[in-house]
Homo-oligomer: A and B are copies of this chain.
Amino acid sequence: MLEQIKNRRSIRKYLEKPVDDDKIIQLLESARLAPSGSNTQPWHFIIVKSEEIRQKLVEVSNNQKWMLSAPVFIVCVADIRSRITDNIEISLNENSPQLELKQIIRDTSIAIEHIVLEANNLGLGACWVAWFIQEEIRPILNIPSDKFVVCILTLGYASESPKDRPRKKIEEIIHRESW
């Protein structure tokens, strides 16, 4: 496992080769089995292959052109209704204060990283992209305003082998018994 974690890279350049649907389903199966607070499973995944829609998603992602080389985008969405069930209107954005939003971002992030690690395991590459705002991305996919888009995951076969990025030393992030 640690070897696979060591070898994982964020991939920003993809081959034109498509990704078989059964592989995509296997990735989402790994997300489906992720743990979540009180087993609330707040995650939804929108598989986007359409070039037209991917183009629109790139535009709201600060026009990061490299994204378009990925044949598949998985748009990863957290649903606050998994925790707030009364019928009040909720419109989420970058500055929403709710604890429940923090909880569903946490849980959906766990599931997304399962996809990333499993993609790596299947010989695929992926990259987390979260440089967009809710108000712009949601309308493209008809996502209701009580959902929060956690990331676009670009997915495909890598056509680059990036070096490892620098990391803090282990001593910088470990504490013992107290901060």
Residues of chain A whose beta carbon lies under 8 Å from any beta carbon of chain B: 1-2, 4-6, 8, 10, 25-26, 28-35, 37, 39, 41, 43-50, 53, 77, 94-99, 101-103, 105-107, 109-110, 112-114, 116-118, 120-121, 128, 130, 141-144, 147, 150, 165-168, 170, 173-179
Given contacts A28-B173, A113-B110, contact A39 B166 (CB under 8 A): yes
A121 in contact with B179 (CB, 8 Å): no
Taking A2-B118, A5-B30, A141-B179 as given, write out 18 further A-B residue pairs in contact, using a Cβ cutoff of 8 Å, ordered by the A residue number. Answer: A2-B121, A5-B33, A5-B114, A5-B118, A8-B33, A41-B168, A45-B174, A46-B178, A48-B177, A53-B177, A53-B178, A95-B99, A102-B102, A105-B105, A109-B110, A110-B113, A117-B117, A141-B177
Chain B contacts of A32 at CB under 8 A? 167-168, 170, 173
Chain B contacts of A121 at CB under 8 A? 1-2
Given contacts A41-B167, A173-B41, contact A142 B53 (CB under 8 A): no
For A43, the closest partner residue in chain B by CB is B173
Interface centre among A110, A142, A166 (most CB of B within 10 A): A110
In whole Å, how far is A54's beta carbon from the nearest beta carbon of chain B? Answer: 10
Q: How far is the CA of A176 from the CA of B39 in the complex (A)?
A: 24
